[in-house]
């Protein structure tokens, strides 16, 4: 179980139905971060502390209006009845899924690879489509082509 909880981390929807859809959406989120890191030439990224703190406060504020904040012993409160709720998302399951759709890149500190310039990932100014010799006016929606 440790591997699953390490993967899910804090502020997830671990207590709201099957964990499989949550794992799938988190995986998609991680892939987006990995793609950005590789495509744009970053060596490292880390969440900005002020963003972590504000999101934590947001989660705690929401959770105070739920059954999870009642005075009972819970795994989500480190086995006590009076600690902060440390593992649950501050919103519904669907809300969590929506949040994972579009990462907030501005919430991270990004460090470029040594020698990388900010826009090196733009390449040589041509799209792969052009370099393959494809129709460069495909966007004009040529009516004659539509009949073929």
Any domain includes 119: no
Any domain includes 13: yes
Average pLDDT, the chain: 84
Q: Tell me the average pLDDT across 108-125.
A: 88
Residues 6 or more apart in contact with residue 112 via CB below 8 angstroms:
41, 42, 43, 118
The total number of structural domains that make up the chain: 1
pTM of the predicted model as reported, rounded to 2 decimal places: 0.75
Residue 11 predicted with pLDDT over 90: no
Query: Which residue range is the domain that position 59 belongs to?
Result: 2-113
C-alpha distances in angstroms, 73 versus 77, 79, 82?
7, 6, 8
Any domain includes 125: no
Any domain includes 144: no
Q: What is the CATH number of the domain that holds 95?
A: 3.50.50.60
Reported as a pLDDT band with limits 50, 70 and 90, residue 138 is: confident
pLDDT at 147: 52
Residue 1 predicted with pLDDT over 50: no
Any domain includes 129: no
């Amino acid at each position: 179980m440790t591997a699953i909880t390490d993967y899910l981390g804090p502020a997830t929807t671990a207590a709201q139905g099957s964990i499989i859809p949550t794992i799938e959406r988190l995986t998609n989120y991680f892939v987006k971060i990995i793609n950005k890191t590789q495509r744009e030439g970053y060596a490292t990224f880390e969440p900005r502390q002020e963003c972590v703190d504000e999101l934590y406060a947001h989660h705690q504020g929401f959770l105070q209006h739920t059954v999870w904040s009642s005075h009972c012993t819970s795994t989500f409160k480190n086995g006590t009845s009076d600690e902060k709720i440390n593992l649950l998302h501050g919103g519904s399951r669907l809300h969590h899924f929506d949040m994972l759709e579009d990462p907030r890149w501005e919430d991270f500190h990004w460090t470029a690879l040594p020698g990388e310039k900010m826009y090196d990932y733009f390449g040589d100014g041509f799209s792969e489509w052009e370099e393959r010799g494809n129709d460069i006016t495909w966007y004009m929606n040529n009516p004659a082509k539509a009949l073929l």
